[in-house]
Amino acid sequence: MAKHSKFQQNIIKNYYQNREAIGLQRLSELVTELYLAEGKAREKVWKQVTAALVKLEIKPDRIEHLQKQNKPELVAKLVEELLAKGG
- Alpha carbon distance 16, 26 (integer Å): 15
Write phi, then psi, for 73 (nearest 5 degrees). -65, -30
pTM, two decimal places: 0.81
Domain ranges of the chain: 23-86
For the stretch 6-20, pLDDT in tens is 999 999 999 888 888
- Alpha carbon distance 32, 42 (integer Å): 11
Q: Is 27 exposed, middle or buried (0-12, 13-18, 19+ CB in 10 A)?
A: buried
User: Could you give the percent of the chain with pLDDT greater than 70?
Assistant: 98
Confidence of residue 85 (pLDDT cuts 50, 70, 90): confident
